[in-house]
Each structure stands twice: as C-alpha cells, then as structure tokens.
C-alpha cells in the first residue's frame, strides 16, 4: 500500500504533501494511488514536547467509516495516540508508518496480507515497497535457504526473501529502523484458530457463509462499473461471483480460458454461472496464447520480473491489462477457498485423503541441500490467515497493483476463515459447503460436479516443452543458480535431456527456470557463495 524511502535526515517543516507523495527533506512516502485507498498524516504541533512525531495511516476505505477529508491533521497528546492506536481496530487492510523527528521509523501492517511490504536497508537509507522490483537487489545477494525452499516446493512464511538484503514484513509484524541501529522486524504473538464444532440441528451453514461473503464485500464503497471478478468456473471464484452479483450487481467477469474438451466444459459452466447470477460483460484470455516463457513475454525477453511472480504471469498480465483498459479498478478473486475447506492432519488420517507434498527434486545443488534440515527454522508464528493464503495474496496483489487494480479476495478474510475452521469435516471435505450453495441456487450438475478437472497443468507442460526447455538449455552453461551451488548441473542437464527425449515431465523444470529468469532480469551477477 506504500512505497517509501527514508534517508535519516528530516526536512524543515515536517512532512508535506505534494499531491503525489509525502516529502520531508530527501525522504518520501508514497501511498498507492487508487480509489480504494485513503491516507492521513497525523502530526504533533511543533510547539509541544511531542513535536516531531508523525504517523501516516494508509488504509483500505471502509463503507461504514467517515472518509478522510483532510490529508494532514495536527494534534497532540492523547488525541495523537488515539488516532495512531485506532489503526489496530480498522476493519480492512491498513499500514501505519510512525516517524520521529530524527527519522527513525516504525512500520506496522494488518492481518489481511494484501500488498505486503518488502524492505531494504542500505547504509543510512531504508527503501520500502509493495513491489519487490523497486528494491534492486545487489550482487551475491541470494539466501540459500529461501532459494532451496522455492526450488523444493517447501513454502516458507517469514521475514526472509530469496535476497539476503531484502526483508518481508509479515502480517501483524512491526519493522523498526533508524540509520544508527539498522532494521529489525518483530513478530506478533501467534494467532488463535478455531476447531471444528458440532452444528445445532437448525443450523444453516450455507446461509451463514453467503451472508459473511456479502458482508465482506459491502464493507467497502464499490461501483458496478469499477468491479470485475475472476470467474474461472471453479468453486472458489463462483462463490465470490455470486456474492458480488447479490451485493454490487452485474459486474464484469474475466478469466484465463483453457482449450480442448476441458475448455469447452469451462465455457459452458462459466456461461451458466454468469447467466443465472445476471453478471455483466465477459473478458477472456486464452491461457495457451500467453503461456509461461512464450517468446514475446517479459520473462523470455529479459524484462524485469520478480521471483514472487506467479506461474502464469504472462497470461495474468494480459488479463489485468485488458481489465484496466475496460475501466475496472477493483478485481475480485477466489484466493483462499482451498484453505477455507482444508483438512487437518488428524482428519486426513481418518479420511485417507492424501497430503500432496511434492518430493524434493534431484536437481537441487549442494548448497541448497545443506539448508533443507533447517527449512522450518525461523518461520513466522501462526498467522490469522493461512501462510499459503498469504503467499497467494502476495502474488496476486503485486500483479494486479502494477496494472492499477486493487485486489479483493472475500474468501481470504479472518471471519470467513474462522467460520470455515469451525465447520465439521463433512462440510469442508470436497468443498461440500460451496457445492450445496450452487445446488440451492439451481445450477446444473456440470457446474456443481464437473466431470472433467479444470486446471492449467497441461498448459504449463506444453509451454515448458515449447518455450521453457529450449530457454533453460540455453542458459545452463552460465546459470546463476548453478554457479552459486544452488542447482546441480549434472542432474539438471540429465533431466533436461530426459524431458527432451520423452516429452514428459517438463513442468518439473518450471521452478529452476522461473527463478533463473528472474535473477537474470534483475541483473544479479553470478558470484562466489558467501561462507
């Protein structure tokens, strides 16, 4: 929600708004410009003992709260502290930046995980952004454990990133910095979670679920013409779309579309959902035409890309670009639906449903393998939302915000998740809660129980065979990850040869190629590994 550069030298007259940024000397703070976002700078009077204290509050506008009418408010004593501490009870996403006269800073974020911040301290300067690409990582900057986690499909949620000099501000955490002592990040207390409960005989989980989604959407001031919903046809996006239709109206729909028989099924299901819910005009992008590493895309052509970008970044960028051109400003997603209906380990032991843990690839290099025993060390405490949800929100946020869209994911919210956690297993398993919601709304069996599985696995495999494998083979001799001992050249070369011969298993090469492409685009040179 903000970009910021703090230099440690205050300007005369405190923070001043220039219509785009808050500026003090050579320091600046830039709130994300969007109708969903409001901000206010609260400062103490220069004549008081508290003079020099400032607090910038950047938050998602709430429908039931008075909108900001003045960008700057000067107040002192208890009123200053009240406004600062009021941030903790704000119902939507919020970031608080407190700065003293000496330019030390304290940054606190909310629990929702939208637009997470990345921080890079360098000498007497701190740079902060919601977009990792703004922070320009330096040479020999890779964190072996974080790289290993990415390559080994072991998601870590912590303050660390794949770059040693860049930190991630996790949910509810607080970052403190000044030019003398540097940067530190303090984790919050572990979040509490609900356990499954026994339902009352008259309980109606579907009605409660639907009401919670409607309340989440109407918590914001929205307009029909400004809203779009990613409607893939799956359960999660359908829940979001139905709730939007019931609250905002016939909003625009959008999706990445599949090919073949699966694509035909997806088309029929999307059409039925849209028609019955009375949704608005539709916009689609065939995912196969913008697959991973296609020759004209940013990753294949070397344009700057982030290690946090999603697998289908090329297609999502095209979709979001078209949505923005069509007038959309808010994009609603189904992120969080899987975690809403997740099974606990003890429940899987009863149901026998597998826990899909990807095996560690053979192509990990020795430096990466050395970190695997410590892959679960130094993680953030239990978060309000699941760590996998927060990771997905980070990917969606950056991609959408680069196109001027504010992302909203009603399923990925504290109240909705707590409700899901409290449901008996029978309502969560197989997303029964969502399927009954569709049944009650009158949808066909094909919508409720599609016979063909709709996902992008075949698209990724085809794209890696056509574009990814040749690119990876071209980069192998001078691979940054290989030269730093994070990939095994023999194993990866052998795997590439096997895929080229059998034409199977190309998707297993996606992660090393994606990370290599990001590093090359950011001009991170190969270097001798740090001890």
Please tell me the predicted confidence (pLDDT) of residue 486: 96
Please tell me the predicted confidence (pLDDT) of residue 150: 97
pLDDT for residue 525 is more than 70: no
Q: What is the pTM of this model?
A: 0.94
Please tell me the predicted confidence (pLDDT) of residue 48: 54
Please tell me the predicted confidence (pLDDT) of residue 10: 65
- What are phi and psi for residue 74, nearest 5 degrees? -105, 120
Please tell me the predicted confidence (pLDDT) of residue 140: 66
Please tell me the predicted confidence (pLDDT) of residue 331: 98
The pLDDT-based confidence of 523 (bands split at 50, 70, 90) is: low
Buried b (16+ CB within 10 A) or exposed e, 452-467: eeeebeebbbbbbbbb
Least confident of 35-39, 103-107, 461-465, 483-487: 103-107
pLDDT for residue 530 is more than 60: no
Residues in Cβ contact with 446 at an 8 Å cutoff, skipping those fewer than 6 apart: 265, 268, 269, 272
- What are phi and psi for residue 317, nearest 5 degrees? -60, -40
The pLDDT-based confidence of 531 (bands split at 50, 70, 90) is: very low
Give the HSE-up count for residue 452: Cα atoms under 13 Å, Cβ half-sphere: 16
E strand or H helix that includes residue 338:
helix 337-340
In the predicted model, what is the mean pLDDT of residues 264-283? 98
In the predicted model, what is the mean pLDDT of residues 59-84? 85
pLDDT digits (tens, 9 = 90+) for 215-272: 999 999 999 999 999 999 999 999 999 999 999 999 999 999 999 999 999 999 999 9
- Two tokens, residue 277: 């819910």
Least confident of 66-75, 202-211, 255-264: 66-75
In the predicted model, what is the mean pLDDT of residues 331-336? 97
In the predicted model, what is the mean pLDDT of residues 314-326? 97
Mean pLDDT of the chain: 93
The Cβ of residue 126 has, within 10 Å, a number of other Cβ atoms equal to: 25
Q: Say which residue, 190 or 296, is predicted with more confidence.
A: 190
Parallel, antiparallel, or unpaired: how do β-strands 54-60 and 27-31 relate? unpaired
In the predicted model, what is the mean pLDDT of residues 367-391? 97
Please tell me the predicted confidence (pLDDT) of residue 72: 82
Residues in Cβ contact with 113 at an 8 Å cutoff, skipping those fewer than 6 apart: 171, 383, 385, 389, 390, 393, 394, 412
Please tell me the predicted confidence (pLDDT) of residue 12: 62
Alpha-carbon distances, residue 427 vs 342, 446, 495 (angstroms): 11, 20, 42
pLDDT for residue 75 is more than 90: no
pLDDT digits (tens, 9 = 90+) for 157-184: 999 999 999 999 999 999 999 988 999 9
Please tell me the predicted confidence (pLDDT) of residue 529: 41
The sign of the CA dihedral 310, 315, 319, 321 is: positive
pLDDT for residue 350 is more than 70: yes
Please tell me the predicted confidence (pLDDT) of residue 66: 87
Please tell me the predicted confidence (pLDDT) of residue 82: 87
**In the chain, what are the helix, strand and coil shares in percent, each to the nearest 5?**
40, 20, 45
In the predicted model, what is the mean pLDDT of residues 399-418? 97
pLDDT for residue 46 is more than 80: no
CA dihedral 438, 444, 446, 449 (to 10 degrees): 40
Q: Say which residue, 112 or 86, is predicted with more confidence.
A: 112
**Bridge partners of residue 285, in order along the sequence:** 256
Please tell me the predicted confidence (pLDDT) of residue 77: 75
Please tell me the predicted confidence (pLDDT) of residue 229: 98
The pLDDT-based confidence of 47 (bands split at 50, 70, 90) is: low
- Two tokens, residue 269: 């299901």
């Amino acid at each position: 929600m903000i970009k910021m550069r703090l230099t440690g030298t205050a300007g005369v007259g405190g923070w001043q708004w220039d219509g785009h940024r808050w500026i003090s000397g050579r320091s600046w703070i830039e709130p994300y410009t969007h109708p969903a976002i409001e901000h206010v700078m609260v400062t103490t009077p220069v004549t008081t003992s508290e003079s020099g204290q400032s607090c910038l509050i950047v938050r998602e506008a709430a429908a039931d709260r008075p909108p900001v009418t003045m960008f700057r408010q000067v107040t002192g004593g208890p009123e200053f502290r009240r406004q600062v501490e009021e941030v903790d009870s704000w119902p939507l996403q919020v970031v608080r930046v407190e700065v003293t006269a000496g330019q030390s800073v304290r940054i606190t974020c909310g629990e929702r995980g939208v637009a997470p911040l990345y921080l890079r301290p360098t000498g007497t300067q701190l740079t902060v952004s919601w977009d990792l690409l703004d922070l320009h990582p330096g040479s020999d900057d890779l964190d072996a454990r974080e790289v290993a986690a990415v390559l080994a499909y072991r998601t870590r949620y912590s303050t660390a990133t794949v770059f040693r000099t860049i930190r991630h501000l996790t949910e509810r955490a607080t970052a403190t910095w000044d030019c003398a002592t540097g940067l530190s990040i303090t984790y919050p207390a572990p979040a509490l979670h609900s356990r499954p409960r026994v339902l009352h005989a008259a309980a109606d989980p579907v009605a409660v679920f639907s009401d919670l989604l409607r309340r989440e959407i109407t918590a914001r001031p929205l307009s029909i013409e400004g809203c779009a919903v990613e409607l893939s046809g799956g359960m999660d996006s359908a829940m979001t779309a139905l709730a939007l239709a019931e609250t905002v109206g016939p909003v625009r729909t959008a999706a990445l579309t599949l090919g073949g028989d699966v694509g035909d099924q997806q088309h029929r299901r999307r059409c039925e959902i849209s028609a019955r819910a009375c949704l608005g005009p539709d916009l689609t992008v065939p995912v196969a035409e913008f697959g991973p590493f296609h020759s004209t895309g940013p990753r294949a052509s070397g344009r700057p890309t982030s290690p946090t970008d999603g697998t289908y970044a090329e297609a999502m960028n095209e979709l979001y670009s078209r949505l923005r051109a069509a007038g959309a400003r808010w994009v609603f997603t189904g992120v969080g639906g899987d975690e809403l209906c997740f099974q606990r380990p003890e429940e899987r032991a009863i149901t026998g449903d597998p826990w899909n843990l990807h095996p560690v690839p053979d192509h990990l290099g020795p430096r990466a393998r050395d970190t695997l025993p410590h892959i679960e060390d130094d993680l953030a405490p239990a978060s309000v939302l699941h760590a996998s949800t927060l990771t997905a929100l980070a990917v969606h946020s950056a991609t959408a915000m680069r196109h001027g869209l504010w992302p909203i994911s009603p399923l990925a919210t504290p109240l909705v998740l707590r409700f899901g956690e409290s449901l008996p297993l029978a309502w969560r398993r197989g997303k029964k809660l969502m399927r009954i919601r569709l049944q009650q709304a009158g949808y066909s069996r094909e919508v409720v129980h599609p016979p063909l599985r709709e996902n992008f696995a075949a698209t990724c495999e085809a794209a890696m065979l056509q574009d990814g494998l040749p690119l990876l083979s071209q980069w192998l001799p001078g691979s940054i990850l290989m030269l730093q001992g994070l990939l095994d050249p023999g194993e990866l070369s052998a795997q590439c040869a096997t895929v080229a011969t059998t034409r199977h298993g190309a998707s297993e090469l996606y992660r090393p190629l994606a990370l290599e492409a990001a590093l090359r685009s950011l001009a991170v040179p190969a270097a001798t590994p740090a001890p």
